[in-house]
């Protein structure tokens, strides 16, 4: 019997991850509270410590996901080729000013990672699905922008970012109007042999969706690709309702990620 690869296991578990991960987190802390309450019992202490390190070992060696509060550490350095290719999303306002898409706009809605979205837009989704995803991302960007500009103290209670990424701030957004366009770029660059500098850099527009004009550019290779896909209605009733009432917008957009098949995407 062949072993199941972590990626395959992740695909099998994806429909129930939204239940398994929260249940694990709650269960972990409940068990920890019991262990603390019974800390005078040597058997309880030993079992808890052994179980904790066993969980760390399983997560680092075999688990397809890393639920809090466990961590996964790389066991070896990752040597990358000098020639690399990445894909980045950017939003554009009516004046044509571009801004890198903030990962939190989708990560805060069902943990949908941009890496998962761009990969599936290029390799899996149909043109119609890409339009829906692009509109959903613009809606999420508008809601997230409203949250950032509100600058609520509750934002400081959010879990820290997992890596270096675009992070919007009120100051960053001051010079931008309402975002009306989403673009996906392919970025090709070459590093020097010692990795200390970029020797060549180029960007290619892969996909562009505008709320008014629909699909402007589509080089994703999506099945039955065409450039006349009509824009879909925005999620929610109007911009004021969607952006002015962030909570209502979250409820309105929540089913969209699941319907598009991108619910529970995991960051790469």
CA dist., res. 86 & res. 115, Å (int): 9
Please state, rounded to an integer, the average pLDDT across all residues of the chain: 78
Nearest to 216, CA basis, from 234, 231, 204, 235 = 231
**Alpha-carbon dihedral sign for residues 153, 155, 158, 164:** negative
pLDDT of the residue at 223: 54
pLDDT in tens, 121-149: 999 899 999 999 999 999 999 999 998 99
Give the pLDDT mean for 21-43: 91
Neighbours of 178 (CB within 10 A): 14
CA dist., res. 31 & res. 46, Å (int): 13
CA dist., res. 46 & res. 40, Å (int): 11
Q: Which of the two residues, 172 and 227, has the higher pLDDT score?
A: 172
- pLDDT beyond 90 at 12: no
| CA 184 from centroid of its chain's CA atoms | 15
For residue 225, give every residue at least 6 positions away whose Cβ sits within 8 Å of its Cβ, in sequence order, or none.
127, 218
Q: Which of the two residues, 39 and 111, has the higher pLDDT score?
A: 39
pLDDT in tens, 44-78: 999 999 999 998 888 878 776 777 777 777 666 66
pLDDT of the residue at 4: 52
- What are the structural domain ranges in the chain? 6-61, 83-259
- pLDDT beyond 90 at 227: no
Q: Token match 């989708």: residue?
A: 106
Q: What is the pTM of this model?
A: 0.63
CA dist., res. 110 & res. 144, Å (int): 14
Identify the weakest region by mean pLDDT among 87-96, 126-135, 194-203, 250-259.
250-259
pLDDT in tens, 153-206: 777 776 666 666 678 999 999 999 999 999 999 999 999 888 788 999 999 999
Rounded alpha-carbon distances, angstroms, from residue 56 to 61, 77, 212, 266: 9, 19, 49, 19
- pLDDT beyond 90 at 116: no
Rounded alpha-carbon distances, angstroms, from residue 155 to 76, 92, 116, 161, 251: 34, 24, 25, 12, 19
Rounded alpha-carbon distances, angstroms, from residue 211 to 91, 103, 221, 237: 12, 21, 21, 15
pLDDT in tens, 206-216: 999 999 999 99
The terminus-to-terminus CA distance of the chain in angstroms comes to: 28
pLDDT of the residue at 196: 84
Q: Which of the two residues, 32 and 240, has the higher pLDDT score?
A: 32
Scanning the chain, the segments in alpha helix (DSSP H) are 6-13, 17-37, 42-61, 104-107, 114-123, 127-150, 170-173, 239-244, 246-259
pLDDT of the residue at 241: 46
Rounded alpha-carbon distances, angstroms, from residue 115 to 263, 265, 266: 13, 9, 8
């Amino acid at each position: 019997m062949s072993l199941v690869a972590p990626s395959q296991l992740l695909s099998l578990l994806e429909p129930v991850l939204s239940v398994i991960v929260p249940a694990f987190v709650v269960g972990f802390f409940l068990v920890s509270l019991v262990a603390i309450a019974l800390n005078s019992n040597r058997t309880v202490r030993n079992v808890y410590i052994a179980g904790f390190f066993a969980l760390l070992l399983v997560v680092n060696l075999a688990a397809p996901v890393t639920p809090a509060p466990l961590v996964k550490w790389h066991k070896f350095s990752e040597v990358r080729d000098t020639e690399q290719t990445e894909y980045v999303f950017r939003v554009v306002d009516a004046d044509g000013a571009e801004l890198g898409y903030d990962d939190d706009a989708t990560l805060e809605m069902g943990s949908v990672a941009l890496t998962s979205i761009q990969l599936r837009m290029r390799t899996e989704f149909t043109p119609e699905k890409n339009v829906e995803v692009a509109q959903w991302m613009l809606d999420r960007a508008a809601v997230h922008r409203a949250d950032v500009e509100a600058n609520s103290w509750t934002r400081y209670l959010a879990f820290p970012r997992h890596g270096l990424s675009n992070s919007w701030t009120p100051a960053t957004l001051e010079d931008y109007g309402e975002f009306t366009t989403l673009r996906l770029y392919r970025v090709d660059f070459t590093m020097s042999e010692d990795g200390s500098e970029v020797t060549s850099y180029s960007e290619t527009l892969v996909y562009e969706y505008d709320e008014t004009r629909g699909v402007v550019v589509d080089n994703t290779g999506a099945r039955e690709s065409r450039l006349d896909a009509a824009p879909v209605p925005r999620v929610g009733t109007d911009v004021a309702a969607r952006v002015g009432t962030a909570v209502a917008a979250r409820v309105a957009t929540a089913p969209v990620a699941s319907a598009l098949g991108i619910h529970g995407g995991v960051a790469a």
